[in-house]
């Protein structure tokens, strides 16, 4: 199974996990705002799987501005 944590150790692990998550969410917001400014819509409206997988999941660990722009132009925007 793995290490058994005391309550104090587990609380430290929780705290150490939450802090970078909040920073990550702030960075994702900035990135999505710039995406919208450049492309004209937010990634989820375009079902931009490449962007979404790279930013929101463990899949895809490489992205360039060129790739982002190319993939976004190939997406169909859905407004609902």
Q: CB of 36 within 8 A of CB of 42?
A: yes
- Flag whether pLDDT at 79 surpasses 60: no
pLDDT at residue number 14: 94
Q: CB of 65 within 8 A of CB of 54?
A: no
- Flag whether pLDDT at 80 surpasses 60: no
E strand or H helix at 29, and its extent? helix 7-39
- Flag whether pLDDT at 67 surpasses 90: no
- Flag whether pLDDT at 22 surpasses 70: yes
Cα separation, 18 vs 24, whole angstroms: 10
| Domain ranges, ordered by start, for the chain | 7-73
Q: CB of 31 within 8 A of CB of 23?
A: no
Higher-pLDDT residue of 7 and 65 is: 7
Residue whose structure tokens are 């969410």? 25
């Amino acid at each position: 199974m793995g290490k058994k944590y005391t309550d104090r150790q587990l609380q430290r692990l929780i705290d150490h996990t939450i802090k970078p998550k909040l920073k990550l969410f702030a960075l994702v917001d900035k990135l999505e705002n710039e995406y919208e400014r450049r492309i004209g819509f937010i990634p989820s409206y375009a079902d931009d799987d490449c962007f979404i997988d790279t930013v929101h999941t463990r899949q895809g660990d490489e992205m360039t501005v060129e790739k982002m722009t190319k993939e976004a132009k190939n997406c169909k925007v859905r407004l609902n």
